């Protein structure tokens, strides 16, 4: 009897599940990227490897993805110009949701196959599983694939020659390595060199780091040292080159020793970093990890404000284009200056100046603050593989928040004060936290400030770097916002280098 009842319940339950089971997703749903929770397309385009990519490459991924979204909405609008400042037009009946989604998917496939071939291959296989043929070379303007192929041609040609070395063809003919250096950059100090014997002590020394926490270690190689030579998107070349920051040290190039004044500066800066690091709160630890990943942190702001102000998907894409262009020029600028100054990171200097001594430092959440040997100290987030000055995070966050402020004010026309930003930071990656941490920024400027400062209390930067980053970033956001709005409203933006050869 009991068994019968059980069987009945199971039957009833499975019946209910069947009745409530969602319909098989439509092709349109499959082709629409969704991050809440991530659908198959989201996982294909942004797998963990991509989410954890170094900041310049993360920005470039978002750029490529956003160009695709923008290009299709611009070509479905009656006056908007495309990313290259050219007017494309898709016939209105192909701007309906499903054909437009197909054009987007085909275009994205072309761009990814060129720029990110690993993900591109997976995307292509996915589209074939959806019953589509993304491999056709047709440029027939009456079909989705034809339109996408025609639109992709100029975009791919641009992305393959913009100086990022996305194909690796600028450094090798064979066995090409994407985004590899073609400028011959070599660090002044070898990673294996003892800190007391550095060739130029104030210059960057690649750090030795745990690679897999299973016994494999690596020495850093400066990521994409060449991108300061690439083509800016919204800044004129003169403006880009003239934005510079002064070196914080007088003897940065000196061989073997550090000048007396710089030694004093260094001791002061190290004490400042260690003091902030000792006073760390859980909120700061959460934020340091969160800001370290620009996808998770910066990537969430537009969606948050879309929730607050209810703007359209089209407006979202125009703002996203402006934002990623601001980030693109910011990261290039940070890299141009990083390579020009090529300065040392805090752990190297700490080891050199406090060799053999114990310092009071933050050890871990469980152990709190205590004495550690200077040689053993590590920042709370792993230091990224590039030189120290200026802070790219401060620069990128400043430009991003300025951009968003300009977009909400000039484009969305928000009335009155912009709402405070709030989020729950969940534990992820190497964050030691086990619960969500709520953060709130009253203003976008406060968010930018927190982003920059988090690099300081995390222990990966010195304070002059953060200040220089904020300073270098000022004004880029407003230029990028105007640039994107100009394109969208059918005007060739000022200083659009890539627009002139259209
Ligand atoms: C959508 O994707 C799912 C999973 O890949 C697949 O089973 C389904 O057939 C797709 N829907 C259409 C209409 O192609
Ligand atoms: C600002 O106020 C005007 C007039 O009340 C309204 O039409 C507009 O939608 C408001 N803007 C936003 C972003 O809420």
The size of the chain, in residues, is: 502
- Whether residues 317 and 464 share a domain: the answer is yes
Write the DSSP symbol of residue 482. Answer: H
pLDDT higher than threshold 70 for residue 433: yes
Ligand 1 pocket residue status of 25, Cβ below 6 Å: yes
Q: How confident is the model at residue 8 (pLDDT cuts 50, 70, 90)?
A: very low
Angstrom distance (rounded) from CA 341 to CA 203: 8
- Whether residues 146 and 286 share a domain: the answer is no
Domain end position, chosen among 94, 128, 159 = 159
pLDDT at 318: 98
What would the mean pLDDT of 308-334 be, rounded to a whole number? 98
pLDDT higher than threshold 60 for residue 27: yes
Closest-approaching ligand to the CA atom of 409: 2
| Token digits of residue 274 | 């260690």
Residue 286 is part of a domain; what is its CATH number?
Answer: 1.10.606.20
Comparing 209-213, 430-434, 497-501, the range with the smallest average pLDDT is 497-501
| Token digits of residue 318 | 């125009």
Ligand 1 center–CA 22 separation, angstroms: 12
pLDDT at 16: 38
Closest-approaching ligand to the CA atom of 24: 1
- Domains in the chain: how many in total? 2
Calculate the average pLDDT of the chain. 93
Determine, yes or no, domain membership for 479: yes
What would the mean pLDDT of 348-367 be, rounded to a whole number? 95
Ligand 2 pocket residue status of 409, Cβ below 6 Å: no
Find out whether 290 and 421 touch, Cβ atoms under 8 Å: no
Determine, yes or no, domain membership for 101: yes
Q: How confident is the model at residue 12 (pLDDT cuts 50, 70, 90)?
A: very low
Write the DSSP symbol of residue 124. Answer: H
Determine, yes or no, domain membership for 315: yes
What would the mean pLDDT of 138-156 be, rounded to a whole number? 97
Say what angle helices 301-309 and 392-406 make with each other, to 10 degrees: 20
Determine, yes or no, domain membership for 333: yes
pLDDT at 1: 31
For 87, the domain range is 4-159
Bridge partners of 361, per DSSP, are: 370
Ligand 1 pocket residue status of 39, Cβ below 6 Å: no
**Tens-place pLDDT, residues 365-424:** 899 999 999 999 999 999 999 999 999 999 999 999 999 999 999 999 999 999 999 999
Residues 6+ apart with CB under 8 A from 353: 263, 266, 267, 270, 374
Q: How confident is the model at residue 13 (pLDDT cuts 50, 70, 90)?
A: very low
Whole-model pTM: value is 0.93
Determine, yes or no, domain membership for 442: yes
Radius of gyration of the chain (CA): 25
pLDDT at 52: 86
Residue 414 CA: which ligand 2 atom is closest? 13
pLDDT higher than threshold 80 for residue 277: yes
Residue 131 CA: which ligand 1 atom is closest? 14
Ligand 1 center–CA 28 separation, angstroms: 10
pLDDT at 20: 53
Element (H, E) at 488: helix 476-488
Angstrom distance (rounded) from CA 289 to CA 365: 14
Residue that wins the pLDDT comparison between 244 and 51 = 244
Ligand 2 pocket residue status of 446, Cβ below 6 Å: no
Ligand 2 pocket residue status of 412, Cβ below 6 Å: yes
What would the mean pLDDT of 246-258 be, rounded to a whole number? 97
- Whether residues 152 and 299 share a domain: the answer is no
Domain end position, chosen among 138, 159, 180 = 159
Domain end position, chosen among 142, 159, 176 = 159
**Tens-place pLDDT, residues 63-103:** 999 999 999 999 999 999 999 999 999 999 999 999 999 99
pLDDT higher than threshold 50 for residue 235: yes
Ligand 2 center–CA 405 separation, angstroms: 16
Ligand 2 pocket residue status of 309, Cβ below 6 Å: yes
Find out whether 434 and 427 touch, Cβ atoms under 8 Å: yes
Q: How confident is the model at residue 255 (pLDDT cuts 50, 70, 90)?
A: very high
Ligand 2 center–CA 419 separation, angstroms: 14
Burial of 384 (0-12, 13-18, 19+ CB in 10 A): middle
Ligand 1 pocket residue status of 26, Cβ below 6 Å: yes
Residue whose CB lies within 8 A of the most ligand 2 atoms, among 413, 414, 418, for a mutation test: 413
What would the mean pLDDT of 134-163 be, rounded to a whole number? 97
pLDDT higher than threshold 80 for residue 502: no
Q: How confident is the model at residue 429 (pLDDT cuts 50, 70, 90)?
A: confident
pLDDT higher than threshold 50 for residue 3: no
Determine, yes or no, domain membership for 128: yes
Q: How confident is the model at residue 427 (pLDDT cuts 50, 70, 90)?
A: confident
**Tens-place pLDDT, residues 207-224:** 999 988 899 999 999 999
Determine, yes or no, domain membership for 263: no
Ligand 1 pocket residue status of 128, Cβ below 6 Å: no
- Whether residues 154 and 284 share a domain: the answer is no
What would the mean pLDDT of 188-211 be, rounded to a whole number? 96
Determine, yes or no, domain membership for 201: no
Ligand 1 center–CA 65 separation, angstroms: 22
pLDDT at 21: 55
The percentage of residues in the chain with a pLDDT greater than 90, rounded to a whole number, is 89
**Tens-place pLDDT, residues 442-477:** 999 999 999 999 999 999 999 999 999 999 999 999
pLDDT higher than threshold 80 for residue 500: no
Q: How confident is the model at residue 286 (pLDDT cuts 50, 70, 90)?
A: very high
Ligand 1 center–CA 129 separation, angstroms: 8
């Amino acid at each position: 009897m009991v068994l019968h009842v059980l069987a009945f319940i199971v039957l009833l339950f499975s019946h209910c599940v069947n009745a409530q089971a969602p319909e098989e997703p439509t092709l349109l749903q499959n082709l629409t990227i969704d991050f809440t929770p991530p659908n198959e397309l989201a996982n294909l385009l942004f797998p963990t490897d991509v989410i954890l990519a170094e900041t310049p490459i993360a920005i470039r991924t978002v750029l490529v993805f956003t160009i695709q979204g923008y290009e299709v909405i611009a070509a479905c609008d009656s006056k908007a110009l495309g990313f290259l400042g050219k007017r494309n037009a898709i016939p209105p009946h192909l701007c309906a949701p499903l054909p437009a989604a197909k054009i987007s998917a085909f275009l994205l496939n072309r761009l990814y196959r060129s720029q990110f071939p690993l993900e591109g291959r997976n995307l292509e296989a996915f589209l074939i599983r959806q019953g589509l043929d993304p491999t056709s070379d047709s440029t027939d303007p009456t079909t989705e694939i034809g339109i996408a192929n025609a639109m992709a041609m100029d975009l791919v040609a641009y992305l393959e020659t913009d100086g990022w070395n996305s194909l690796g063809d600028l450094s090798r003919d064979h066995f090409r390595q994407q985004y590899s250096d073609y400028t011959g950059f070599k660090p002044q100090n070898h990673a294996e060199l003892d800190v007391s014997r550095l060739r130029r002590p104030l210059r960057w020394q690649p750090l030795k780091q745990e690679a897999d926490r299973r016994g494999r270690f690596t020495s850093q190689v400066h990521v994409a040292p060449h991108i300061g030579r690439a083509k800016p998107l919204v800044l004129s070349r003169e403006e880009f080159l003239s934005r510079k920051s002064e070196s914080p040290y007088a003897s940065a190039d000196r061989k073997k020793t550090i000048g007396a004044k710089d030694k004093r500066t260094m001791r002061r800066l190290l004490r400042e970093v260690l003091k902030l690091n000792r006073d760390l709160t859980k909120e700061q630890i959460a934020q340091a990890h969160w800001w370290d990943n620009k996808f998770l942190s910066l990537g969430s702001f537009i969606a948050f404000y879309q929730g607050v102000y209810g703007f359209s998907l089209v407006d979202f894409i125009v703002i996203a284009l402006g934002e990623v262009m601001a980030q693109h020029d910011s990261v290039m600028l940070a890299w141009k200056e990083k390579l020009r100054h090529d300065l040392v990171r805090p752990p190297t200097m700490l080891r050199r100046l406090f060799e053999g001594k114990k310092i009071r430092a933050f050890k871990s959440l469980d152990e709190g603050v205590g004495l550690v040997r200077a040689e053993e100290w590590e920042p709370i987030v792993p230091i990224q593989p590039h030189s120290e000055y200026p802070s790219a995070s401060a620069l990128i966050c400043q430009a991003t928040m300025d951009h968003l402020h300009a977009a909400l004010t000039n484009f969305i026309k928000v009335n009155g004060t912009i709402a405070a930003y709030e989020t729950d930071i969940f534990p992820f990656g190497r964050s030691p936290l086990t619960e969500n941490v709520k953060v709130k920024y009253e203003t976008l400027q406060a968010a930018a400030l927190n982003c920059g400062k988090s690099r300081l209390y995390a222990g990966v930067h010195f304070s002059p770097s953060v200040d220089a980053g904020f300073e270098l970033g000022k004004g880029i956001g407003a230029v990028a916002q105007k640039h994107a709005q100009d394109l969208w409203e059918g005007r060739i933006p000022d200083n659009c280098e890539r627009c002139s050869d259209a």
